[in-house]
Amino acid sequence: MSPSNSSIDRFGNYLHRARRRETWRHVLRFIALLCLAMCTITAVGTWAGLFRGFTPELTMSIRVILAVSTVLLCAILLWRPITSLRRDQGAALVEGADAAFNGRVRTYLDTRSRQQDQPFLSLLARDALSVARRVPLERIVPTATLVWPLLLLLFMVGVLFGFRELAPQTWQNAALHIWWGWKNGELVEPRTIAVRPGSIELLAGEDLDLDIQLNGFRQNTVTLHARSDDDEWQTTPITQSPDQHFRFTLFRVNQPLEYYVSAAYTQSETFAVSVIQPSRLERIVARFEYPEWTRLEPTIREDVGDISGVKNTRVTLEFVLDRPMQDGALRLDDRLIALQQIDALDAAATAHTEAGDPDLPDVPSQTNARQPEYRYQASFVIRNDTQYQLVDRMLEREVAISPEHAIIVRGDEAPDVKFVRPGRDVTASPIEEVHISIQAVDDFAVESIELLYSVNAGDWQSVMLPVEELAEHVFYLESMGSGDDLLADMPVIEDGPSPTPELQGIEPLALAGLPMHPGDLISYYVRVRDHDSVTETDMMLVDVRPFERRFSEGQGGAGGGGGGSGAANEGSEISRRQKEILMATWNLLRASEAAGGETMAQEDNARLLAELQRTLAEQARTLADRSEARELVEQGEEIRQFVDYLRAAAVQMEPSARSLDEMAFSEAIQPQQKALQLLQRAEALFADIRMTQQQGQGGGGQQAGKDMAEMFELEMDLERNQYEQPDRGGNNAGGEQLDDIFEQLAELARRQQALADAERQRRELTREEQWQQQQLRRELEQLQRDLEQLQQEASQAEGAEARALEQAASELSEQLQRAEEALEESTESAQQANLQNDSTSAEGGENSGPEEGDSGSDGNGTADAATADSRDASEQNDMSDPSSAQAASEALRDALRGLGEQRSRELQDGIDAALATAEKLLDEQRDVEEELRDAVDRAVRSRESGLFNSGMTREQMGELSRRKRDLQTELESVRQDVDALQQRFGEHAPDTGEALEQAIERLDESRVVEMLGIASDAISNGSIATALPGESLVTNAMREWRDRLSEARDAAADEQLQSQDNRDLQVADALDQLQNLRELLTGGQQGQQVD
């Protein structure tokens, strides 16, 4: 290698190392500063992200800054210096390091670039190299400039290592998110505001419920920004709820709006809310086409809501709306029925056609002046209870255009049938005509009215009555008898009754055309049919009684005292009990038929009736046996026939009891009817025998009648039935016992008054009347014991009612004690008078004995003297005790008047309490009606604004429904209390009883109790508009109820409570005063004659 080439290579190598050293300086500086910038930007971005939240915008901004910083640093610190270095090949760098180069490097490089084989190139190289030997590379590129970037890099590495080891994980994740978040999105949670529902479509008037949730950060308050159209933004702060959400409601949104939510430099998207106006229901028109069997013409009803009809009724609903529907349908339970749109002209034509008017109205002229209407109709058949609702498919959901309305199957109710006349069991003479009037009412149409009757337990006869508002039939008793001997035709039943024959046809069986006999029986009831139900009445009875007997009973003499009515009770007691068994069996038969033939529920009742039937049969046989044992049958044919009737009746009772044991109620009816007829025949004979006793026809007959009466009293236990009342239970038991004592006391006062009248007429009592007075005294003692027991029970009870009862019983007990003392004195006076009469009669007999052979004139004179002596003794006794029996009667009447006054006060207090309750209930009803009206008004105003608001919350409806139910319960309770007062006191206070009865009748006719229950159910179901129309009727009915109770209270204040017997006693007092006046007049005339 030549020297020239060597110098060129060495100087070129010198320049190359200088350029390389400079390049490394730029690279290291770039790397160090780039790392510093990246770390600084990352740190600042991490802090900003943690402070404000990593929103997508913030994250992207940080990444852009990092990229821009990298590019800038690369351009400034790397690309531009290295480019400059390469462009001048380091000439400026080397010459700038030492002034000795003085352009040598640039001259060398320029010469070599132009011509590498230039001969002077080596000289230039040696010349520059001579200077380069004095300028080392460290002077051109100092070592410090290479070291400090390395140190900075080491420092940055240490910082990064410390950050990784010491920094919180959230900071590390935030820093990593800046660099690697695009690859791993789970490093940090983005800071966003989630708003639900966001952009949405609403129905006009609906509420917009916003649910706001902050993601990636926390704040206690956010701000809602909203505006309508182009208005200014309105802001509302929203506070955080406990579940870390923010909730807010925009009520009744009627216009489109925009909204967004902001919090802590974070803002949600801007959402749009669009509003759709649904159709508004103006009214519903319903057309009803009823089944043929109802016999009803089609009807059209305007403004209907809930609808009802019998099964298979076709209903066509026409809905009138203010705008067309998008996809309307009628929801019927869980299925949808398509709607058919009709125009106003067709609707008017249909309505006029239904009304029978062929001329169409001028519909266009009417509709032009009014807001346009859109009509839709749908038709369906009522088959079961359900509900309907008009809906429109909007916003991908069903929108209710109308509230839910109930569809109620109004079942074909069973006919309501009652006897208008006579309405009860009656007695009639064999020649009378018994008129039967039946009133049958049905909710639709009565198909048939059938009267079924049986004469003397014979086959059931059927008579089809005309279907009229008041169906009538007449039983002609004078031609319904059979003329056969009842005992001769009576079969002896051993194996039980034959099955009751089926009802005959509509033509009655031919009868003998003879009058009925006393004791005969007609059983009848009515069966009414409608389309698919049958109603039967209770069984009614017609008892045949002889006219002569009823007339003779009314003409009974005063000497019998109270025996007349007692005889009737004795004779009719056994037939009355048989009648009760017959009626109870009939009711069990109807109950089992209503249960579909199921009889297990009536097992206990059937067993009880069977025992009662056997007991009654044993009593009938015992009466017959005792009559034969006393040889009463030998004293007359009537008594023999009476005993035969009793035995025949007992025979009929046995199969009745067996059928009841087997719960074959239909088979028990006929033998019971036959037994009742036989007992009534026996009763008629017993009445004749007793009548013979009262009229004194023959000594034997009179004694036989008395013996039979004693047997009746002993066997049927009449005294116990009269005075031992069953425990009625309840809080009013004491008052009811006082009622019983009042009746018993009235009966005793009446009987004592009769004895006092007899004593006043004859100046003395017969032995039979003395025996009656002793019996009356014993009954008064028993009544006194019952009263003392009642007083003791009242003293052990608590409450003001018990104290009042105890005081009343105490006062009455004192009055009864005085009456008992007067009775005792009267009895002793009568006994002394009888002893004196017997002594006088005996002395007269002794005196007349020795003079039997004397002349007739002497004998007559002696007899007259004896008679005179007897009369003087009687008059002397009368002077000593002028009217002891009358004093006892007055004492009983005083006790009766005192008890009557106490019961009058009790009646007045009961009416006052009922009136106070009625006033309170009326005030409560008025408050409820006012609340309902306010709720309906609110609902109407809401409906006018396009909303469907019921006007009440569900809780308010529940409370109002409960109040209506309480009103119903309390009104029904006070109605029962008033009815109890009417039952207890109505007979003894007729004016007050009539006023109470009219009040109850008016309350029942108004159906206010039922209407209160219906309103309660309607309110609980949300149909307050349905309940409101009847509220005025309820209020008026309750006002009338209060007013009528007030009238009853006034009537009770002006009326003295008394029994029928007490009114008889008032008549007796008037007769006593008239008798005293006559005696005074007679005494005055005798005095004038003596003068």
**Which amino acid is present at 344?**
A
**pLDDT of amino acid 985:** 78
Q: Which residues contact 89 (CB under 8 A, 6 or more apart)?
A: 15, 19, 109
**Which amino acid is present at 1082?**
T
8 Å CB contact between 111 and 120 = yes
Report the distance separating Cα 189 and Cα 245, nearest Å: 17
Q: How many residues does the structure list for the chain?
A: 1091
8 Å CB contact between 261 and 267 = yes
Pairing of strands 234-239, 221-228: antiparallel
**DSSP reduced 3-state for 986:** coil
Residue 526 forms beta bridges with which residues?
451
8 Å CB contact between 339 and 328 = yes
8 Å CB contact between 891 and 818 = yes
Residue 195 forms beta bridges with which residues?
212
* Residue that the structure tokens 């106006």 belong to: 277
Q: CA Rg, the chain, in Å?
A: 59
CA–CA distances in Å: residue 113 to residues 89, 95, 591, 641, 857:
11, 18, 136, 173, 214
Taking each helix axis from N to C end, the angle separating 733-762 and 954-985, rounded to the nearest 10 degrees, works out to: 20
Residue 389 has, within 13 A of its CA and on its CB side, a CA count of: 16
Report the distance separating Cα 134 and Cα 119, nearest Å: 25
**pLDDT of amino acid 483:** 54
**pLDDT of amino acid 334:** 85
294 φ, ψ (degrees, to nearest 5): -75, -20
Of 245, 188, 223, nearest to 55 by C-alpha is 188
Angle in degrees, CA 635, 489, 480, rounded to 5: 100
Report the distance separating Cα 96 and Cα 443, nearest Å: 126
Of 1026, 1039, 1036, 1030, nearest to 1012 by C-alpha is 1030
**Which amino acid is present at 670?**
Q
Report the distance separating Cα 689 and Cα 635, nearest Å: 11
Residue 12 has, within 13 A of its CA and on its CB side, a CA count of: 14
Taking each helix axis from N to C end, the angle separating 733-762 and 800-848, rounded to the nearest 10 degrees, works out to: 20
539 φ, ψ (degrees, to nearest 5): -75, 130
Structure tokens belonging to residue 450: 């059938």
Report the distance separating Cα 780 and Cα 816, nearest Å: 8
**Residue 312: left (phi > 0), alpha (psi -120 to 50), or beta?**
left
**pLDDT of amino acid 313:** 92
Report the distance separating Cα 30 and Cα 328, nearest Å: 75
**Residue 696: left (phi > 0), alpha (psi -120 to 50), or beta?**
left
Report the distance separating Cα 213 and Cα 266, nearest Å: 12
**pLDDT of amino acid 511:** 43
8 Å CB contact between 925 and 1032 = no
Q: Which residues contact 267 (CB under 8 A, 6 or more apart)?
A: 193, 260, 261
**pLDDT of amino acid 935:** 83
374 φ, ψ (degrees, to nearest 5): -120, 125
Q: DSSP H helical segments within 518-602, as ranges?
A: 547-554, 563-594
Q: Which residues contact 47 (CB under 8 A, 6 or more apart)?
A: none
**DSSP reduced 3-state for 183:** coil
**pLDDT of amino acid 794:** 65
**DSSP reduced 3-state for 207:** strand
518 φ, ψ (degrees, to nearest 5): -55, 135
Structure tokens belonging to residue 185: 């999105």
DSSP 560: G
Report the distance separating Cα 635 and Cα 631, nearest Å: 7
Mean residue pLDDT of the chain comes to 75
8 Å CB contact between 899 and 745 = yes
**pLDDT of amino acid 310:** 86
List, for the chain, all residue ranges whose pLDDT scores fall below the cut of 50.
1, 352, 354-369, 488-512, 549-570, 697-701, 717-734, 841-882, 1060-1068, 1070-1071, 1073-1074, 1077-1078, 1080-1091
CA–CA distances in Å: residue 376 to residues 283, 316, 320, 395, 976:
11, 10, 7, 21, 51
Q: Which residues contact 595 (CB under 8 A, 6 or more apart)?
A: 601
**pLDDT of amino acid 72:** 92
**DSSP reduced 3-state for 449:** strand
- Count CB atoms within 10 A of the CB of residue 467: 15
Report the distance separating Cα 994 and Cα 1002, nearest Å: 12
SS3 string of 270-318?
CEEEEEECCCCEEEEEEEEECCHHHCCCCEEECCCCCEEECCCCEEEEE
Q: Is 512 exposed, middle or buried (0-12, 13-18, 19+ CB in 10 A)?
A: exposed
**pLDDT of amino acid 128:** 80
* Residue that the structure tokens 């009614």 belong to: 540
What sign has the CA pseudo-torsion 147, 153, 156, 162?
negative
What is the full DSSP assignment across 589-654? HHHHHHTTT--GGGHHHHHHHHHHHHHHHHHHHHHHHHHHHTTGGGG-HHHHHHHHHHHHHHHHHH
Pairing of strands 234-239, 328-332: unpaired
Cis peptide before 422 (omega within 30 of 0): yes
Using one digit for the tens of pLDDT, what is the confidence trace for 586-602? 888 888 887 777 777 77
CA dihedral 364, 365, 368, 370 (to 10 degrees): -110
**pLDDT of amino acid 868:** 43
Report the distance separating Cα 62 and Cα 52, nearest Å: 13
8 Å CB contact between 774 and 704 = no
What is the full DSSP assignment across 370-430? S---EEEEEEEE--SSEEEEEEEEETTEEEESS--EEEEE---PPPEEEEEES-S-EEE-T
Q: What is the value of pTM for the model shown?
A: 0.40
Using one digit for the tens of pLDDT, what is the confidence trace for 761-798? 655 666 666 666 666 767 777 776 776 676 667 666 66
Domains of the chain: 3-180 (no CATH), 192-276 (2.60.40.10), 281-409 (2.60.40), 423-545 (2.60.40.10), 561-724 (1.20.120), 896-1069 (1.20.1420)
Residue 176 forms beta bridges with which residues?
none
Strands of the sheet with 374-381, listed across from one edge = 299-301, 281-289, 314-321, 374-381, 340-342
CA–CA distances in Å: residue 360 to residues 273, 351, 375, 376, 680:
47, 10, 18, 20, 74
